[in-house]
Structure 1
């Protein structure tokens, strides 16, 4: 039975815990083969058999979402199918009524599923029905628009240039919280005997925590009794019940501020993912009978002919039918050197055309292109990552019901069983019990401990994107590295200048090469100039000719110079002895005579070898290198650094396959992957921990990674592990402290030996001690 996949969107998904609950309920209630709810992207990814009706599946999923989040929280749940959608700027439209006519006409046009024309923003978006020819339909739509409003034209919106939606802090959305906090502060200056004292606390509490209380009550009617909202509501109302008003408002204020910062962090992650999606080329220069047309890549079909100009990204996978050029493939394959391509050679979408004009016959549609596959791998890989649940959520599932029921029993049972006992006395004990039981010390100190660890790591030049990743660094067993830009600098340097003629010295060969290469922007040319270090006499150079994919020819000091690869030497009928060295070889000839060569290599980072040694000393069992570079280059680097296993000439999906095998192989512990390019993003997302080199790394890799090394030093990974271990020790100290004191005072409270002062100490006092302990990590200096 064949499988189908569907992606649904959920708007206003309020919390990561709710996302996990939705995923669990779908698994329990709906017969699907696989489901993953991604809180960051607000997507539900489902795999199911053909026997399930898509509409029925939609209805069932929507029902589950509403059960967990409530009907008001779900704006819309829609199938993600954007390959038939287009968005255009409407140029020259000045009539609102005409805009309405255009929209109505398009919505009544055969082949169009839905059209919307926003007159204010002057944008037209439409979705076609299935099996429609996109180019023909666009021409038809353009004609209809021109018929209704002559002179109005459509211009494709290039999504790579669209501004990323800002979802930062909006003060207007948090006015109740701000007012509540201001009132709470002002109460400090109000006399306790004033008639305004208690009403001000109540108003402040409702402004700050009214939403949580309402949510807790609503969840009660839906059968969700013991959740975070219930815990906060019961604990704070309990504090009100025993007249500890500041305690009630302060706890709620802290909780709301924490939620606010979490929301800001999530919105930042969403923006990062949107930026990642912009790496895909959106338009192509399609060759037609009437000339070149700039069209969306989704419109281009297999066997179409597209033209790629210098500086442009290759829009779709294909084969060159005309032209020669040099491609920057680092983003997709990790190949450090630009690749020379010519007729009949394959090119991949997403690579950058550096030099010549090439004409390409398309072999894959947009949906099947390499760059689309990379983005798809990122999404699918992230769905396989193990979900790390928040410790407090796990703890509250057991702790909250126990202490709440215990408090209720404490208020009811003793007066019933023991003669002469007062209900009011035991009710007071129950409220004290509830205040003590509020896990404020854990709520404050555990996140603060990880936050302090994250802050300490940042002082060492390590950006950790969450406490769960910091915690996971404690148990690394397999370390996997990309090569270019991670263990090596990703920059080229002249390693050897070798004369083959007694008439020329090393310096003379370098001088000739530098002068000719000064007219090229190629990375290898820049490395030769850097090695020469002297000024270039441009007056001495004439008739410079760049031969795409081969090298350069020029006149230097009245001598004919040829410098380039072996193919150029063969083309110019110059006899050479091919050099079998790892790296790029520049052969140099003067007046038809081969005089020597220059060897250029990617440099290994200064601390890469030390980094591997440190990791092994910290308990890493295996080190692995995965690269798209050539095998001989990779093995040379691996041997020099002492890496256990080396895999070379890999595409992004090959890297992902290797990581999948390593993940299955490991018996315990975690696997991290370190990379810096767009081609590394699927593996960064799939690994237990993805680590990106931030100084030189691609934005996409930095966005997807869980940890970013801002200084580009591999040795910082070991530093991060040391910080993580120190953080874990402090966090567990706080857990033992908080729970130990609370359990002791809870017992005293139940016996009537602990009053409100002891309850406040067990709650606020322990919190302060735990916070001070957590702050120690900020002063930690890893050695």
Structure 2
């Protein structure tokens, strides 16, 4: 523990040890009166001088009611009553608790900074044939930087030379490496594993992905949840209330006793009032609640889930409805050839004809055919290309006439074709005027989409909804495959906002609706939902701005993980609130009745704080689903 402490914490630890040793030594010296007072003032001032100074400054600045004031009054009062050992012990245990809390907060901050260890220290620029290290802030847009194996990519850009394997675990929470080559976009924060890369920067360092992510995590504490705001207000009213309560406890019972002709017992009632003050210190609540949220946000960051503030974590924990965009969220958003049907020719041959005929087109369908062919395309083999808008392409490939298109093209050419009952885009193929079958192209579902929906239902989600601009036939098949309960198809972007508004009006006020989109064209809906989750949105400015939570890869399982993290964090927050307030109320009653002494008071303050802080740090650790 000591090796991880900062200088300030080490000084406090030395003071604690010195005060403990001197207090124990003086406890065995048989002295009384002024000499005993002088001896015990030595450990008291060693351990408590900074608390007394802070209390004095608080009074001077008219900010009286804080924990320093409570501790100063309680311990000075105990010493004034002749309870020297208890006065020193209260201050000593309070400082032990404060040291523990400071260490715990520092440790959780360190863990988060280690988990988010993506800030690059430098960028390499080639000058006169030599690599020169410069501050990433000094690199302008369009500059060429060199990233060597083992180094972090410092700024977003495009690879212009080299190929490599990238480790994205610090960003996505996943350890699966990603292949990258010339022409690929690359985002800052990844670690270059193998080859030397030359990257042309597309953003300044301040606007790059790594800076935006770090900024989000560092500023997340500014957006406080209702629980945190409640605790802040509670402490503001609670501290003065207990101070006045303690004053009343010290004065009223003796005055009433004197009035009724009984012994006033001033010392007894002042001691009870001082015990009441020590018990009432709200440290456990004031420290552990923000720490719970801070740890929850850190744990989420480690799992590849960026949460912009504890208020969003709180809302996410109440989610009962999850609305999905389809393309790019539940499906891969990349069209692929999934089959060749009714073809008398070999599958490879029909794909070759289709890819060559479509080789002059930049349409996504054409691109998917070229990818499925998988070989270098020699366009010199293709002549007489005619693209018929909305129908397809005719061309001559190796001297053979080829037609690739939809049913309209086949009807235009007078070629009989076979219907396809599968869901997807159909490319009918004719070679030399004879029908040769059709190619089925579809947007594949993501491998984890089905499991993600099942996980959400297991976690108590009431309804999952899918919104898409696709046809009803495609949408219904995807929704059926994945187990989604409600689907709305053939929607324009504006219709999606209207549907979310409609769903919001139906839900209970204490329930939350989350919208999950790919973050580029879903910004209006992300903003309108109770909680907007942008998926796979690294590098997308629209997503980072509009969403409340950003998933750092495109795995749908992360949605269930994010909700699980939020629920665990809120459970810890409420455990700490109920535990701290419950123990304090019991001990305050016992203190007022004279049953609890200063030692019980120390447990009620320091002990509860230590337990609450240990509990809060659990939010940092996230189990795998």
Provide TM-score, normalisation by structure 2.
0.61
- Partner residue of 1:512? 353
- Note closer, same or farther for the CA distance 1:215–1:654 as it changes in structure 2 (3 Å cut): farther
Deviations 1:443-493 (A, max 9, x none): 333344445555555565544444444444444332211111111111211
- Partner residue of 1:404? 243
Instruction: Say yes or no: does 1:434 pair with 2:277.
Output: yes
Query: Secondary structure of 1:601's partner?
Result: strand
Judge conservation of contact 2:67–2:282 (CA < 8 Å) in 1. Answer: no
- Partner residue of 2:556? 714
- Partner residue of 2:504? 663
- Partner residue of 1:496? 339
Query: Secondary structure of 1:628's partner?
Result: coil
Deviations 1:404-435 (A, max 9, x none): 33122123323322345465664554343233
- Note closer, same or farther for the CA distance 1:215–1:545 as it changes in structure 2 (3 Å cut): farther
State the distance in 2 between where 1:742 and 1:775 align: 21
- Note closer, same or farther for the CA distance 1:253–1:738 as it changes in structure 2 (3 Å cut): closer
Cα offset for 1:439? 2.0
Judge conservation of contact 1:477–1:622 (CA < 8 Å) in 2. Answer: yes
State the distance in 1 between where 2:533 and 2:360 align: 38
- Partner residue of 2:591? 749
Cα offset for 1:255? 8.9
- Partner residue of 2:200? none
Aligned equivalent of 1:486, options 308, 312, 329:
329
Correspondence list, 1:114-125, <5 A = none
Structure scoring higher RCO (CA < 8 A, sep ≥ 6) equals: 2
Judge conservation of contact 2:354–2:429 (CA < 8 Å) in 1. Answer: yes
- Partner residue of 1:68? none
Instruction: Say yes or no: does 1:678 pair with 2:520.
Output: yes
**Structure with bigger gyration radius:** 2
- Partner residue of 1:737? 579
Cα offset for 1:437? 1.2
- The gaps in structure 1 that reach 5 residues or longer are 1-177, 218-228, 266-384
Judge conservation of contact 2:517–2:534 (CA < 8 Å) in 1. Answer: yes
State the distance in 2 between where 1:540 and 1:479 align: 51
Query: Secondary structure of 2:521's partner?
Result: helix
Aligned equivalent of 1:769, options 592, 611, 615:
611
Number of aligned residues: 468
Judge conservation of contact 2:51–2:72 (CA < 8 Å) in 1. Answer: no
Judge conservation of contact 1:486–1:675 (CA < 8 Å) in 2. Answer: yes
What CA RMSD, in Å, does the superposition of the two structures yield over aligned residues? Answer: 4.7
Correspondence list, 1:209-220, <5 A = 217=63
State the distance in 2 between where 1:586 and 1:205 align: 82
State the distance in 1 between where 2:499 and 2:401 align: 49
Cα offset for 1:765? 1.3
Cα offset for 1:207? 8.2
- Note closer, same or farther for the CA distance 1:652–1:200 as it changes in structure 2 (3 Å cut): farther
Cα offset for 1:510? 0.6
State the distance in 2 between where 1:435 and 1:568 align: 86
- Note closer, same or farther for the CA distance 1:235–1:594 as it changes in structure 2 (3 Å cut): farther
State the distance in 1 between where 2:100 and 2:561 align: 36
Aligned equivalent of 2:226, options 364, 382, 388:
388
- Note closer, same or farther for the CA distance 1:409–1:651 as it changes in structure 2 (3 Å cut): farther
Cα offset for 1:601? 1.2
Judge conservation of contact 1:494–1:600 (CA < 8 Å) in 2. Answer: yes
Cα offset for 1:766? 1.6
- Note closer, same or farther for the CA distance 1:653–1:438 as it changes in structure 2 (3 Å cut): farther
Instruction: Say yes or no: does 1:644 pair with 2:472.
Output: no
Judge conservation of contact 2:426–2:438 (CA < 8 Å) in 1. Answer: yes
State the distance in 2 between where 1:386 and 1:622 align: 28
- Partner residue of 2:319? 476
Correspondence list, 1:348-359, <5 A = none
State the distance in 1 between where 2:97 and 2:315 align: 32
State the distance in 2 between where 1:388 and 1:587 align: 59
Structure with greater helix share of residues: 2
- The gaps in structure 2 that reach 5 residues or longer are 1-5, 23-38, 78-86, 113-222
State the distance in 1 between where 2:276 and 2:253 align: 14
State the distance in 1 between where 2:55 and 2:332 align: 51
State the distance in 1 between where 2:16 and 2:539 align: 51
- Partner residue of 2:369? 528
Provide TM-score, normalisation by structure 1.
0.50
